[in-house]
Amino acid sequence: MCDEDIIERLKNGDKNQLVSVIEKYKKMIISLCYSYTQDYGEAEDLSQEVFISFYKSINNFRGDSKISTYLYRITVNKCITYKKKRSVKMIFSGLFSHGKEEGISVIDRNEVRQAVRDLPEELKNPIILYYYLGLSYKEISDVLEISERAVEGRIYRGKNKLKDKLNREEEELWGHTKPTI
């Protein structure tokens, strides 16, 4: 059955068709969520939210993309929202912990996160999708509806802006940059 027929049946309230969509895409969605959360329970919860959002927004689906791409966009948005909520929790918990986690201090992590948040949207989104979610250039181009070359260029420019900003902050703090090892 083609995507257009599936969407039409869903718009007409066919709940059995929703079950079919869930069965078809569940592994892909959970896998994406898991690669982001590293927690299977959280990944399952997020995937349920994705399918609920998909069903609630089905009447707004224009059919410009495949169902898989539409689900992927919803998933990425849910994961980004999850990350924001989780980052806030980590920042607050980080205020009360001392030392380093995985070789990067909480302060360094927060500086990097803040630098990413300060990027313009057109650079921030590809950086997050690539480095935080691990999506390929092709997947990012589908989600953001831009060419793969544009994705590559935005990631390159975003990395350079991040490097410049973090080096500038380092110079302001210490009067020079740390030597790289």
| Residue 104, SS3 per DSSP | strand
- The pTM for the full model equals 0.53
The domain boundary, picked from 67, 97, 127, lies at 97
Q: DSSP assignment, residue 134?
A: -
Domain of residue 1, residue span: 1-97
Cα–Cα–Cα angle for 87, 90, 94, rounded to 5 degrees: 140
Rounded Cα distance, 92 and 82, in Å: 16
User: What CATH number has the domain bearing residue 113?
Assistant: 1.10.10.10
Residues 106 and 83 in one domain: no
* pLDDT tens over the chain, length 181 residues: 888 899 999 999 888 999 999 999 999 999 888 877 778 888 999 999 999 999 999 998 888 888 998 998 899 889 888 877 776 555 444 433 444 444 445 556 677 778 888 889 899 888 888 877 777 899 889 888 899 999 999 999 998 898 888 777 766 666 655 554 4
Structure tokens at 95: 């205020």
Rounded Cα distance, 78 and 172, in Å: 37
Residues 108 and 167 in one domain: yes
